[in-house]
Amino acid sequence: IAEASKNLAPPPPPPIMHVAIEPAAATLPAAGGASTHTLTNSEAGKIMFKIKSSNNNEYRLKPVFGFIDAGATAQVEITRLAGPPKEDKFVVQFAPAPEGVTDAQEAFKV
């Protein structure tokens, strides 16, 4: 008995989320300094975020984890401690905030 072939379409791609970062880059002196950035959530729902750094020895991020309500903003401060000059990178990860979650750090572990 031959099985009828099923025409299975691939699942649709996940929706593109929109979070703006302003300013998008930071230039801080090797002697140390700070830069403030605004994350803007243009999504219809609450999101959570996590910021990663390629150099955790010379940078401090405040906050590292957080939530941003729909249409709202959050301020992030990048502080560079004195150290040798080099190019470092930061990545902002974000995802829809699950209903009822109050700890973004724990939510990113799942």
> pLDDT (tens digit, 9 = 90+) per residue, 14-63?
666 789 999 999 999 999 999 999 999 998 899 999 999 999 999 999 99
Domain for residue 10, yes or no?
no
Residue pair 51/102 in contact (Cβ under 8 Å)? The answer is no
Domain for residue 105, yes or no?
no
d(CA 66, CA 77): 13
94: domain CATH number is: 2.60.40.10
* pLDDT value at 66 more than 80: yes
Residue pair 95/76 in contact (Cβ under 8 Å)? The answer is no
In this prediction the pTM is 0.81
Domain for residue 62, yes or no?
yes
Q: How confident is the model at residue 6 (pLDDT cuts 50, 70, 90)?
A: low
Mean pLDDT (the chain) is 91
Domain for residue 67, yes or no?
yes
Domain for residue 60, yes or no?
yes
Instruction: Quote the pLDDT of residue 7.
Output: 65
Instruction: Quote the pLDDT of residue 69.
Output: 96
Tally of domains in the chain: 1
**pLDDT: is 110 or 19 the higher one?**
19
Range of the domain at 88: 19-98
